Amino acid sequence: MTERDKVVPTSYRRWNPLRDQYGLVSPHRLSRTWGGQTEKIEEPTVQDYEPNCYICPGNKRVGDKVNPQYTDTFVFGNDTPAFLATIVETSPKSLETTSHNLFREEKETGVCEVISYSPKHNKTMANMSVRGIEKVVGLWRERFIEIGSRQDINHVLIFETRGREMGSSNSHPHGQIWAQEHVPNIPAVENDKQRKYFDETGRNMLLDYVDQEIAKDERVVYVNEDFVVLVPYWVEWPYETMVLPRSRISGIDELNNDQAASLAKSLALVTRTYASLFERPKYGASYLMGIHQKPTDKKDHPELQMHIHFQVPYLTPSRFKFQAGYEKFGEKQRDMTAEQAAQRLRECAQALGTTL
């Protein structure tokens, strides 16, 4: 532990306005003896084509489906989707929806798609060019607009599960889109809190938050003309970051070309910084990424602000952060401050220099 990392033993809770809940911060626990699991850092060489990968160009998928010999980004319907286009009732269901009914269910239909970022099996976002990431952003925007225009779709979630440590079943660089009739629980809560703030103040919560974070400059990792990357004040995971617009943008469909390019630079910066900090320079670190934005209900949402969450599983390059007993049954708890995490990420980002 360096002098910079030494902290006065203390503990406190920080409030997350997007979830209306507190999380425990105990930064002195980083110095405790660790006898748990550690990871050997390995980055075996990965070829740009894998014959057994169901995402690579020209390869067979489920059934008789075969990928085209695509040369850029590529989107296809998930062959094992979580949502079905239509629901077949196999047995009578209770329609009771009173507040005292303890056994409730409702049908859910939707669309699941897979987006391949590149035809190359070893081209992750961390080692893609900014121009390549910009093409991914463009495809996200196209799919959000097309799928969100459907009458049976009210929410489009764009996300990525990167790396085996986070549960990815395929190492080909890809993300997913799950679009459905109902707004899922987590974005529904965030939308509700933003709406309440707007109703009380007449202002956009996350625009206010970004302005204050930039002014404080304690947790900002990177900023450009249109976006800021920061470690949120209420952060739950050790090196969690958010990517937020600096102007009102409630959905990815509202990005102009310059803003899309700025977002691509921000995504490149985040993934390359994680790759550097966690010593995985070839293919990047594992992470979860999710884009929260407005519902696709054809309404204007001045109260809502598009934002992107990144979560990584690491405390150090060889040690994971597990959400264990207290986190599962009490509340979120972290072993370092958001300011400590931001400083380390900022140092790595600055060391990247002009490589974007």
- 324, two tokens: 């264990």
DSSP structural state of residue 60: B
Provide the 3-class DSSP secondary structure of residue 137: helix
Amino acid found at 111: V
For residue 307, which phi and psi values (nearest 5 degrees)?
A: -155, 155
CA 63 to chain centre: 31
Among 174, 292, 307, 309, the one annotated catalytic: 174
174 tagged catalytic: yes
SS3 80: coil
- How many other β-carbons are positioned within 10 Å of the β-carbon of residue 93? 12
CA–chain centroid gap for 112, Å, is 17
Which residues have CB under 8 Å from 308's CB, separation 6+?
A: 242, 243, 244, 267, 289, 290, 291, 292
Start-end of H helices in the chain: 130-148, 185-201, 205-216, 257-277, 325-329, 338-352
Closest among 207, 161, 177, 198 to 78, alpha carbons compared = 177
**Residue 148 and residue 296 in contact, taking contact as beta carbons nearer than 8 Å:** yes
Residue pointed to by tokens 């920061």: 230
- Look at residues 289, 341, 354, 350 and name the one whose alpha carbon lies nearest to residue 315: 341
The half-sphere exposure of 103 on its side-chain side, counting CA atoms within 13 A, is 3
Measured CA to CA, the distance from residue 187 to residue 306 in angstroms comes to: 11
Q: Residue 342: CB partners within 8 Å, gap ≥ 6?
A: 218, 219, 220, 221, 230, 231
Nearest to 152, CA basis, from 107, 118, 201: 107
| Amino acid, res. 323 | Q
| Active site (catalytic) residues | 174
